[in-house]
Structure 1
Amino acid sequence: MATRTRSAAREEDRSASSAEVPTAFLPPAEELERLKLSPEVAWYLVSRGIALPDCPPRWKTPEPRDVVDAAFDPDRVDHVLASFRQLRHTQGRLAGLPLIPDPWQVAYILAPVFGWVRWDEDAEAYVRIIRTLYVDVPRKNGKSTLCGGIAIYMACADGEQGAQVVTAATSERQAGFVFNPIKTLAAKSRALARFVKALAKKVIHKPSGSTIEVVSSAADAQHGANIHCGVVDELHVHKTPDLLEAIETGTGSRTQPLIVIITTADSGRRETAYDRKRRLVEQLASGVLVDETTYGVIWCADPEADPFAEATQRAANPGYGISPTRAYLRSKANGARNSPAELAAYQRLHLGVRTKQETKYLTLVSWDRNAGAVDEDALTGREAFGGLDLASTSDLIALCWLFPDDGGYDALWRLWTPEENVANLDKRTAKAASRWVKEGLLLTTPGNVADYDFVQAQIEQDIETFDVASLGYDPWNATQLTNNLSAAGAPLVKVRQGLQTLSPPLKEVQRLLLAGREDRPLLRHGGNPAVRWQVDNLSVHTDPAGNVKPDKARSAEKIDAVSSLVTAMSEAMGRAPTRRSAYADEGAELTVI
């Protein structure tokens, strides 16, 4: 029965398959890439007479085109848009008119989220692939209306019986901002009048028994949780991630739930609920992480662009000229121009710029440019300098080997984690950690604490394989492992982790990456994705004299692989202060001050 149902459903959706998408009348591939439109979505827009928008987001995660059994179903998108048109605008010059999403909302939000489906064996049907939608866009670009339309669709038209749709608010005042537009849209729709009952704090869809209501605490979200859709407006005002996490974990029993996060930018504070979600989307968009169930778009201006230029305003505001209007943005720009105190607010609220966001010391552009190819077998017998980071026995341990060659270096990493920590890493890497384990890029040791015997065995094997000149490590984290390696004759060197020691090698790493080219990379690393994730996490500490070092406390996530690289570079450079004996009776162990 399941096979027959699957076959029938597949036959019905053949026209929706990505392999069947017509390409006639579509712009060339280069133009689609500039617009950040997939061929499927572009075809949908053209076939429905919807203009292709020319306002691509600065960041856009990949659409789930490569998921097994994935198909783009245009009928589902049609259904969403038809449902939106049954609603009516409630404010301003559009009040009373049908709620017709703008082309950019269809192209970059509604079509990707509701169009991409895959076959689900348990449901014996096609279900949505995307389970989390993140939209980061400046004010006055129709966020509340879009939130309302999605919430009402998920409760009243998604075909889910007893759907629980919740909207998240951190206070009674914010609850009004979030829920009132939804209630008003539902109450004023003639098409819904017979089916919907709008109460003070709840909207009820009578035929399906579905509801829309506000939750303002994790306890509220967890109470009887069987959430089909959660709408989180203005994530940046949430002081903790508790409410969002409660909503996310409350969707487990639904076949195709959807979490919708629509927000403006924050000021750049680290380790907030907003910061974590924003960074995740940026990492997915840049290919550092992979998660087909999460889709995000971020509109924001280049922080280096002229904040008052029309081109900058256009780039940050996909609804430019309609909502927000030109006059509105001009007035906000004039206020910011005449008042430095208003400039930061203007940049954040109307250009999407995180005003306190730090500049990346090592950029992914330069890192990727230097990937090159690293053949471990070809490294046998070559001179090597090592860096060992033992900062966390319950999370990651990193070992980096640098092999000088032709004015640059080949870099090779060994990464370990306790096997019981992989699930925790998966949560922080959009499930990439399990993939790294399968690919042999991340090695596991039994239990919940790193087994140093595995690390020691690998280091001793590497010393036999490579011509190891020295292996640097942080003496603050000295363990029995370093004592054992020293006793075995390993050329260990204590490398202090202060600015004086780490600034020259970190600056050298930056110099090599900036100077390297694709045809002549100077720090060849092979594109190791587990290391790339940590490079993207890096924050640095800088003193008044311009000295720098990796800053684990301020970095968004793990940077152990980068720390081991910098320690190895300290050894490889040969420009550190003169090495001296650490102990008279331990001639194999040296120290770098």
Structure 2
Amino acid sequence: MSYVAISNQYIEDVLGGRIVACKWVKLACERQQRDLKRNPIVEVAFPYRFDDDAANRICKFVEKLPHTKGKWARERQRIKLEPWQCFILTTVFGWLHVDTGMRRFRRAYEEVARKNAKSTKSSGIALYLFGADGEAGAEVYSAATTRDQAKIVFDDARAMALREPEMCAVLGIDVLQHQMHIEDESSKFLPLSAEGSTLDGLNVHGGIIDELHAHKTRAVFDVIDSATGSRDQSLLWMITTAGTNRSGICYEQRIHVTKILNGSVVDETFFGIIFTLDEGDDWADPLVWIKANPNLNVSVFMDDMEMACRKALSMPSAVANFLTKRLNVWVNADSAWMNMRAWDACGDPTLSIDDFEGEDCIVSHDLASKIDIAAKMRLFTRDIDGVTHYYGFGRYFLNEEAIEKAGNAQYSGWARQDLLVATPGNVTDFGVIEQDLLDDAVRFNITEAPYDPFQATQFSQRMVEAGLPMIEVGSTVKNFSEPMKWLEALVLQGRFHHDGDPVLTWMISNVVCHRDAKENIFPRKEREENKIDGAVALLMCLNRAVNLEPVTDGALDDFINSPIHS
């Protein structure tokens, strides 16, 4: 079968229900099927014809390229396009203008879950535009916000070229460390990022913008987009997975694609396809995963998906990552954090801090002076059958006026139970907090005393003068991401223990985790009244304790997928 025939069969299989696909893939197939029936002679607004040779040519070129990573590279295999990839390539490259013979599509947006060979295919496209598209003086760029990201597509393409010296000889390609060029044609291919010295003066024939969702600004996109105007058939190819920033350039392009596909906007030069779940799909159901992973059982493996799903089912903070990266679903940056059933199971009302007198202890402080609660956390460790267990005890301080005026009726009740220490006046008395810490120093062996420097300058100075080991731990992503992930794992493992403290439990339940583009997480609260100070103080303790027992995501995965847990 020709690649065009494979593409047409894919369309029939999707629309006939033989291939499970989401609504956007179905609409993309319907669009191509409908366009193939249009007549440019009759329909003046559609001056395009589909050329089988042009459509097949790009696919033939890509399949002559070698794999450069993994088992396929070790076995020296060449790229084998899947039907869905043939559909995309033949559609984008097969449509030509009836008069000029130039390509119809000038923009392509492809959104699909990770590990579906986006970069590999994009590297082949970039090489084709650079050396095989017949464009004199072609300028092709792999573009991203960072130099490292921009080099992913370029480095893959460079590795392909190095493994195909005969191709390079025929096309006249010189492969250098940081660029490729064809001297006779004055063509070049290189990575481009916002970290570069300049983005000006480009004359772009081909632009591959990688992971568009990670672009915090429009800078790189706008430069590439505006630099294609002087070319007759330039192509800007955007590849991405879903993200969280719905006000950014990626979501803007996505919305444009959805409007084209549902027919509310007409843009004959823009191709778009989105592989994701449909509304109402159960994300934990393996039967729907193929909608976001058209390469399922090819480069995406079911056991790996199942492992990631189990982790998401057990750890609420992992749900957003599973949805965005594995299922290509856009989510909010803030999502639920702690599994509260598991947290409650870690509670033991028979625990008493008195039982830990004389033991090593990390004591942290997250201070506040007026309306927020000042929190202190004391963290102990004990060895049980060769495994380290962690014990946390909180203490909380708030001034009397804030307690009386608080909208939270629990404050006064907690104060009566001595769960919340009420200090006189309208400002929390740090002297009471300092004395409480000095009392702890008599009872326990304080090995470290981390504190948030905000509002704590004089407090820390006085405690240092008192001989306490004060350590500054600011509220940053770097300081909190790993402790948050670690605490989740400790809770699920039953290795963290608390005495049922209702204040700490309330604060833990208030925490949502904010996820950045690098998959770091950070504690936040959804509303001002949802205090999280005790949770923050606990994370400060774990920030120091993690140095004693480093834990990686791999270790968390090992636990989540252990036979006992699963």
| TM-score, scaled to structure 1 | 0.50
What is the 5 A alignment of 1:554-573? none
| SS of equivalent residue, structure 2 residue 167 | coil
Corresponding residue to 1:248 among 198, 220, 225: 225
1:118 aligns with 2:97: yes
Cα distance between partner residues in 2 of 1:76 and 1:26: 15
The corresponding residue for 2:142 is 167
What is the 5 A alignment of 1:524-539? none
Per-residue deviation, 1:177? 2.5
Specify whether residues 186 and 55 from structure 1 end up closer, same or farther in structure 2 by C-alpha distance, changes over 3 A only.
farther
Contact 2:109 2:237 in 1 (8 A): yes
The corresponding residue for 1:83 is 61
What is the 5 A alignment of 1:395-474? none
The corresponding residue for 1:101 is 81
Specify whether residues 227 and 28 from structure 1 end up closer, same or farther in structure 2 by C-alpha distance, changes over 3 A only.
closer
Query: How many residues are paired up?
Result: 317
Cα distance between partner residues in 1 of 2:183 and 2:304: 41
| SS of equivalent residue, structure 2 residue 148 | helix
The corresponding residue for 1:133 is 108
Per-residue deviation, 1:199? 1.7
1:286 aligns with 2:252: no
| SS of equivalent residue, structure 2 residue 265 | coil
Structure possessing the higher radius of gyration over alpha carbons: 2
How far does the alpha carbon of each residue in 1:472-519 deviate from its partner, in whole angstroms, 9 at most, with x for none? xxxxxxxxxxxxxxxxxxxxxxxxxxxxxxxxxxxxxxxxxxxxxxxx
Corresponding residue to 1:177 among 124, 145, 152: 152
The corresponding residue for 2:24 is 58
Per-residue deviation, 1:159? 0.6
Contact 2:215 2:250 in 1 (8 A): yes
Per-residue deviation, 1:205? 2.8
Per-residue deviation, 1:179? 2.3
In the alignment, residue 116 of structure 1 is paired with which amino acid?
Answer: W
Contact 2:120 2:153 in 1 (8 A): no
Per-residue deviation, 1:87? 1.1
| SS of equivalent residue, structure 1 residue 117 | strand
In the alignment, residue 105 of structure 1 is paired with which amino acid?
Answer: Q
Specify whether residues 330 and 83 from structure 1 end up closer, same or farther in structure 2 by C-alpha distance, changes over 3 A only.
same
Per-residue deviation, 1:218? 9.7
What is the 5 A alignment of 1:181-196? 181-194=156-169, 195-196=172-173
Contact 1:186 1:198 in 2 (8 A): yes
In the alignment, residue 147 of structure 1 is paired with which amino acid?
Answer: S
The corresponding residue for 2:215 is 238
Cα distance between partner residues in 2 of 1:331 and 1:133: 32
Contact 1:301 1:315 in 2 (8 A): yes
Q: CA RMSD in A?
A: 3.1
Per-residue deviation, 1:207? 4.3
What is the 5 A alignment of 1:382-401? none
Cα distance between partner residues in 2 of 1:317 and 1:146: 15
| SS of equivalent residue, structure 1 residue 225 | coil
Per-residue deviation, 1:291? 0.2
What is the 5 A alignment of 1:480-519? none
Cα distance between partner residues in 1 of 2:288 and 2:310: 14
How far does the alpha carbon of each residue in 1:202-221 deviate from its partner, in whole angstroms, 9 at most, with x for none? 11134433211112139867
Cα distance between partner residues in 1 of 2:80 and 2:166: 15
In the alignment, residue 58 of structure 2 is paired with which amino acid?
Answer: V
Per-residue deviation, 1:198? 1.8
| SS of equivalent residue, structure 1 residue 128 | coil
1:304 aligns with 2:280: yes
The corresponding residue for 2:318 is 342
The corresponding residue for 1:155 is 130
Specify whether residues 270 and 26 from structure 1 end up closer, same or farther in structure 2 by C-alpha distance, changes over 3 A only.
closer
How far does the alpha carbon of each residue in 1:216-274 deviate from its partner, in whole angstroms, 9 at most, with x for none? 1398675332110110010011111121111111111111110000100012x332111
| SS of equivalent residue, structure 2 residue 129 | helix
Cα distance between partner residues in 1 of 2:330 and 2:215: 16
In the alignment, residue 161 of structure 1 is paired with which amino acid?
Answer: A
Identity value in percent: 30
Specify whether residues 29 and 114 from structure 1 end up closer, same or farther in structure 2 by C-alpha distance, changes over 3 A only.
closer
How far does the alpha carbon of each residue in 1:363-387 deviate from its partner, in whole angstroms, 9 at most, with x for none? xxxxxxxxxxxxxxxxxxxxxxxxx
The corresponding residue for 2:380 is none
Contact 2:143 2:208 in 1 (8 A): yes
Specify whether residues 27 and 138 from structure 1 end up closer, same or farther in structure 2 by C-alpha distance, changes over 3 A only.
closer
Per-residue deviation, 1:94? 1.0
Per-residue deviation, 1:189? 1.8
In the alignment, residue 80 of structure 1 is paired with which amino acid?
Answer: I
Specify whether residues 338 and 196 from structure 1 end up closer, same or farther in structure 2 by C-alpha distance, changes over 3 A only.
same
Specify whether residues 187 and 26 from structure 1 end up closer, same or farther in structure 2 by C-alpha distance, changes over 3 A only.
closer
Cα distance between partner residues in 1 of 2:50 and 2:304: 38
In the alignment, residue 233 of structure 1 is paired with which amino acid?
Answer: D
Per-residue deviation, 1:192? 2.2
Structure 2 unaligned blocks of 5 or more: 39-44, 335-526, 528-566
Cα distance between partner residues in 2 of 1:288 and 1:251: 26
Specify whether residues 76 and 29 from structure 1 end up closer, same or farther in structure 2 by C-alpha distance, changes over 3 A only.
closer
Cα distance between partner residues in 1 of 2:58 and 2:9: 25
The corresponding residue for 1:142 is 117
Corresponding residue to 1:320 among 296, 299, 314: 296
Contact 1:56 1:318 in 2 (8 A): no
Contact 1:240 1:272 in 2 (8 A): yes
In the alignment, residue 105 of structure 2 is paired with which amino acid?
Answer: I
In the alignment, residue 119 of structure 1 is paired with which amino acid?
Answer: V
Per-residue deviation, 1:167? 1.2
| SS of equivalent residue, structure 1 residue 227 | coil
Cα distance between partner residues in 1 of 2:255 and 2:309: 27
| SS of equivalent residue, structure 1 residue 58 | helix
Per-residue deviation, 1:196? 1.9
In the alignment, residue 92 of structure 1 is paired with which amino acid?
Answer: G
Cα distance between partner residues in 1 of 2:301 and 2:223: 37
| TM-score, scaled to structure 2 | 0.52
Cα distance between partner residues in 2 of 1:258 and 1:345: 31
The corresponding residue for 2:70 is 92
Corresponding residue to 2:331 among 352, 355, 363: 355
Specify whether residues 178 and 221 from structure 1 end up closer, same or farther in structure 2 by C-alpha distance, changes over 3 A only.
farther
In the alignment, residue 290 of structure 2 is paired with which amino acid?
Answer: R
What is the 5 A alignment of 1:257-296? 257-267=234-244, 269-296=245-272
The corresponding residue for 1:211 is 188
Specify whether residues 245 and 93 from structure 1 end up closer, same or farther in structure 2 by C-alpha distance, changes over 3 A only.
same
What is the 5 A alignment of 1:530-549? none
| SS of equivalent residue, structure 1 residue 192 | helix
Per-residue deviation, 1:68? 3.1
Cα distance between partner residues in 1 of 2:283 and 2:216: 28
